[in-house]
Amino acid sequence: MQLLTVLVLCFALVGVAILHFLKVFREMNDPNGLPGPTQIPYIGRVHDLPIDFMWLKFKEWADKYGSMGLYRTEMLGAKFIIITDEKVAEDLLIKRAKLNSDRPMIRSLFDSKSTHGSMEYLPLMGRNQYWSRQRRLTHAYITDASNAQYHGVMYFESKRWLARLIENPDNFQASLEDMASKVMCQLTWDDPSLSEYCTKSAWGLLTQMSPAGPITNVLTPLWHLPWILNPWKRAERKRHDEQQAWWMARFLGVREKMGRGEMRSCWTRQFLEKNSVKSSISGDYEASSVIGMLALVGIFTVAGPLSYWLVSMIYHPEWQAAVQREIDEVCEGRLPTLADSPRLPILRACIKETMRWKPNVPTGVAHETEADDVYNGYFIPKGTRLLPLDWAFLRNPNKYPDPENFHPERWLEPGWPTYQEPLTQFPTIKGMSSFGWGHRQCLGMSLTQDELLVACGSLAWCFNLKPKRDPANPGHDFPVPLDKSNSLLIIKPDPFQMAFEPRSEARKQEALRLWREAEADDETKRAEFLTAARSGNVPKVEVKRPGPGVPLGVLTVPAVSNAKKQDVCIQVSRVNSMVGL
Ligand code: HEM
């Protein structure tokens, strides 16, 4: 071929490529479409959307392009609509919930949506049969009606936490998460000693599912590298299998204990007693997953606001004093309980304002559209991710004047747009935008509200929360940063130092005494239960066997619906060997 021909061909190819690029550019930046930052063909805005503190960049764009309460952007072909106004979130995620309640796939998890029947992660599932039956079951376990059962667990764990803070205050971040984890392990398996592993496991999943986690969540094509060259997939296989095996070992352990009549009340027992027959849960694998996921989801979600409570109180000693005064007046020296809640509006206002000021799921959780739609004249294609940007909702100056600052009075004084009466009931965190929207709204609102009231109230009763003196720098305190956190889907402040000063020696001794008493009482009750069970004095519970003649410790796993079995689900034989069967 002559040089001239080659040159002409090259020019033609480059010309075609440029024309194609311009065509895609025009389509992506259609002046009649939704506003948003200028999109670059194929990559969208992946080049300038930081993985860290992503919500701040989304908010920056919201201030520029979000005058209608939403704007569009793209990342490596994935279409996003960022919702920045609560009214638009209501329209799209509540009024049009039927269209907009699916979830986007998370690349670095196997079958995160349970499209292929893995049935593992309720909050991440697509809007499918597994999600709907698991949501129904989970809802039944944590509705108000069953709350009465778990209040005792919260009081118990708060007392343990106060004692741990007195004895080892510097370890407060770990003991705070451990408290939240112990509450969930106790409720789920009647065993708070499982908390350490459960927290580790929750952290593993949280990291794996977050854009700031493995790089394969952002550079998704890397996930498809062959197994041998793919460290991300191999690591996830290990994490996933261990987590599932652990959940199943817990589940089977409860069933075996029930068979011996030695299992006290907990959600797993409740399931095996009642729901394994009545609900449409397919078998042990699904049951252990839905119950295990429930335990896991209540750890970092609650630990986040609790950590930020410490920050709020350190920065606002005047509000800390107001909370303490309120508790002292209402409770007359004893620890606050949930029955005191109607008379503790200042405590509730400070908790709610902490969650507004420092939301712990600042980006919100994405929904995905299931069909093409038109909203206010704008076309929204099927498969678009709708991100309800909580950071923007909670910084709306019309609803929250002076949004960057901590103002609990916005919930307590007439004249503020958010003020609501009666103060015996309001403020309440239930229904906050932070808990999401429509059919996917969080199922843990009551549990969170109760746990925060008990834990924050107990802290105020026992301690003055203060900055800590820096011995290396006399006259100075260790800094408590306001804006340093991780960037996972559920965030928490970076490690910092602070002081937990008991309000008096008498209060300190009282807190230690209360814990000793509670611990001894718990040990006695557990021992009495076992003695009664072993002597045949506890009525035996009818335990449904996994199949006729199948021992209670054997696992049943339904057939996985799709050929992608290997990628989707853990193999039964491997599970059985992992749980030692
Ligand atoms: C401050 C604490 C919490 C916050 C901020 C929070 C936030 C959220 C958000 C944003 C969603 C997604 C909503 C949506 O897609 O529109 C969600 C879902 C969910 N939350 Fe929470 N949550 C908290 C505590 C809890 C607790 C303590 C539990 C249970 C023990 C829980 C259980 C769930 C479940 C099961 C879902 C999945 C619902 C579904 O996909 O249908 N959450 N939560």
Please tell me the distance between residue 452's alpha carbon and the centre of ligand 1 in angstroms: 15
Least confident of 17-31, 233-247, 426-440: 17-31
DSSP 102: B
Whether the per-residue pLDDT at 540 is higher than 70: the answer is no
Question: Diameter of the chain by CA atoms?
Answer: 99
Mean pLDDT of 497-515: 98
Q: Which of 442, 447, 449, 451 to mutate to test the pocket of ligand 1 (most atoms within 8 A of CB)?
A: 442
Do 436 and 297 form a contact (C-beta atoms < 8 A)? no
- As a whole number of angstroms, the distance between CA 330 and CA 250 comes to 41
Q: How many CA atoms lie within 13 A of 128 on its CB side?
A: 18
* CB 346 less than 6 A from any atom of ligand 1: no
- As a whole number of angstroms, the distance between CA 93 and CA 439 comes to 8
Please tell me the distance between residue 444's alpha carbon and the centre of ligand 1 in angstroms: 6
| ipTM, 2 dp | 0.99
pLDDT of residue 576: 47
pLDDT tens-place string over residues 334-391 = 999 999 999 999 999 999 999 999 999 999 999 999 999 999 999 999 999 999 999 9
**Average pLDDT in the chain:** 91
Do 484 and 493 form a contact (C-beta atoms < 8 A)? yes
Mean pLDDT of 115-141: 94
- As a whole number of angstroms, the distance between CA 59 and CA 29 comes to 20
Task: Specify the ligand 1 atom closest to the Cα of 305.
Answer: 1
Phi, psi of 541 (to 5 degrees): -90, 140
Do 236 and 109 form a contact (C-beta atoms < 8 A)? yes
Annotated binding-site residue? 442: yes
* CB 385 less than 6 A from any atom of ligand 1: no
pLDDT tens-place string over residues 460-490 = 999 999 999 999 999 999 999 999 999 999 9
Please tell me the distance between residue 164's alpha carbon and the centre of ligand 1 in angstroms: 28
Please tell me the distance between residue 365's alpha carbon and the centre of ligand 1 in angstroms: 9
Going by alpha carbons, the residue nearest to atom 14 of ligand 1 is 436
Whether the per-residue pLDDT at 103 is higher than 60: the answer is yes
Whether the per-residue pLDDT at 565 is higher than 50: the answer is no
Task: Specify the ligand 1 atom closest to the Cα of 429.
Answer: 1
pLDDT tens-place string over residues 58-86 = 999 999 999 999 999 999 889 999 999 99
Q: Which of 102, 120, 301, 368 to mutate to test the pocket of ligand 1 (most atoms within 8 A of CB)?
A: 301
Whether the per-residue pLDDT at 499 is higher than 50: the answer is yes
pLDDT of residue 326: 98
Q: 208 versus 149: which is more confidently predicted?
A: 208
Mean pLDDT of 271-297: 88
Going by alpha carbons, the residue nearest to atom 15 of ligand 1 is 440
Indicate left, alpha or beta for 549 from its phi (over 0: left) and psi (-120 to 50: alpha): left
pLDDT tens-place string over residues 287-345 = 999 999 999 999 999 999 999 999 999 999 999 999 999 999 999 999 999 999 999 99
**CA separation, residue 331 to residues 42, 324, 455, 458, 538 (Å):** 61, 10, 15, 11, 38
Q: What percent of the chain has pLDDT over 70?
A: 91
Looking at beta carbons, which pairs linking 574-578 to residues 24 or more positions away fall under 8 Å?
574/241, 575/241, 575/244, 575/245, 575/248, 575/285, 578/241, 578/242, 578/245, 578/249
- As a whole number of angstroms, the distance between CA 4 and CA 195 comes to 73
Query: Mind spelling out the 3-state secondary structure of 113-131?
Result: CCCCCCCCCHHHCCCCHHH
DSSP 343: G
Please tell me the distance between residue 298's alpha carbon and the centre of ligand 1 in angstroms: 8
Least confident of 9-13, 403-407, 566-570: 566-570
pLDDT of residue 60: 97
Mean pLDDT of 142-170: 88
pLDDT of residue 116: 87
Which of 57, 61, 36, 63 shows the shortest CA–CA distance to 397? 63
* CB 302 less than 6 A from any atom of ligand 1: yes
pLDDT of residue 48: 86
Q: 401 versus 573: which is more confidently predicted?
A: 401
